[in-house]
Copies of this chain bind each other. A is one copy, B any other.
């Protein structure tokens, strides 16, 4: 790894989710020099969650590399409001319009702090180091308990005015469809997320083999064994993802859609029907060529991406793989 004392500029990255708060010092090559981790206090009030963030930051500040840190990058579960520096993560109930950026800035010796949504951060990571590398126009998605995403357009990360751009999970592809918890109908997430893959299979009579939990992974196992109901539930998820990807390609001309998250681990069971459906929905000449690739980065994508988004926003160092080689 990176020898002590020889670092260039570093970004202190924070990845804040409903189950864990992770931190790292990230260098200009995207390497994680030091890690810190705390569980997100379940059901805690705002200050107890902030205390966990401060502990993670404290570990980073105590590291010998800290003096090289030039910024803090935060990727947070959303919605976020990058303009006001506040976050209201659906799965961190203690934080509603919580002033995360000023609080972190106060704990970080006045370094500049850049806040983005976790979908945008994941996209920054895949564009810098992963499957979207080398593409100037890309959609990156996480298909898991929910469906999130982010966009690279014209070679740059699209954050949007509030840091939430790329929320493909909540575009409607079925305007008369089932009600989504967000209030809309027929959202991509309502059809394609892991819990919805399992729900649809159960509603059609499927039961997990061996009496286990009714998860998307269990549906995938049954589908691989040939269960037609399980296969159909994955196919419907793939269809919704294809319609969403096609809509994105038609609206903003992406060249590639990168898909990560737990549901993408189903592999060909998801990707094969997705590519077939995509041919039917992405019909215009400029959209028809959109590629679909599995994500390359794993759980570190949030940290790498929070650093990348901060580096890009503050023009700290060049991320482009074509320039850094």
Contact = CB atoms under 8 A, between A and B. Distances in A.
Interface of A: 79, 81, 88, 136-137, 151, 153-154, 158, 160-162, 164-168, 170-176, 180, 182-186, 239-240, 243, 246-248, 250-253, 255, 280-287
A284 B182 contact: yes
B252 A252 contact: yes
Given A164-B286, A175-B239, 16 more contacts: A81-B286, A137-B161, A153-B153, A153-B158, A158-B252, A161-B255, A162-B253, A170-B284, A171-B246, A172-B247, A173-B174, A174-B174, A185-B281, A247-B247, A247-B251, A251-B252
B251 A79 contact: no
Contact of A251 (B165, B173, B182, B282): B165
A275 to B, nearest CB: 15
B252 A283 contact: no
Contacts of A176: 174
B285 A79 contact: yes
Contact of A253 (B88, B136, B137, B165): B165
Contacts of A161: 136-137, 253, 255, 286
A312 B176 CA distance: 40
A173 B170 contact: no
A126 B81 CA distance: 28
A100 to B, nearest CB: 15
Nearest to A165: B253
Contacts of A287: 167
B171 A247 contact: yes
A183 to B, nearest CB: 4
A164 B253 contact: yes
Contact of A252 (B165, B170, B281): B165
A284 B79 contact: yes
Nearest to A156: B154
